[in-house]
Amino acid sequence: MRTIRFVAAMIPLLTLSACVPLPSVNPLWDEEHAAYEPALAGTWISEDNDEIIVITETGRNEYRMVYVTGEDSSQYEVHAVRLDGRLFLDLLPDKELLEERLQGEAYIPLIPGHFFLRAVLEPERLELAAMDDEAIQKKLDQGELEISTVNWSDGLLLTAQTDEIQGLVVRCAEDPEVWRGPTLYHRFRE
């Protein structure tokens, strides 16, 4: 019997908070809510100097993020999203990098997962907070939220459609339990 592994995200910015970011099958972004944020581009260093984020613009409303902590790094495709005046980032593991890391594997169906960050962007400062899967699970269990999810071996997986996800993000935008952190970054200037 074949073993099928489901990969929702690889090395997902876990240090943004003490939580695991909530993975999603579907994106947060769509053309209607995509945001052009040229100020995102640049090199950002965390206040404690433990993390570096390099963001480059790859197209209108599209970015690439390289996240480095210690000797570990991750690379993501990023879309900026504006919902109710707030900025969010939709991150998806870089497909080429995933394929490179899995090279030589006989059979692994791969479904990369999105995850979402709430962002506050200022000219010299970037604040990021990840949506916490345990906080969403708790709210689901208590009947405070109703949205399509499945439980899998690594926790909760969001299966809702994009418009439902946008509603969830807007509803929970100010909830500190849902958005753990934040981690503060300052723009690096040479």
Structure confidence by residue, pLDDT tens digits, 127-180: 999 999 999 999 999 999 999 999 987 789 999 999 999 999 999 999 999 998
Average pLDDT over residues 20-30: 92
Q: To the nearest whole percent, how much of the chain has pLDDT over 90?
A: 69
Q: What is the pTM of this model?
A: 0.85
Structure confidence by residue, pLDDT tens digits, 74-96: 999 999 999 999 999 999 998 77
Burial class (CB in 10 A: 0-12, 13-18, 19+), 118: buried
| Nearby residues of 71 by Cβ (< 8 Å), 6 or more positions away | none
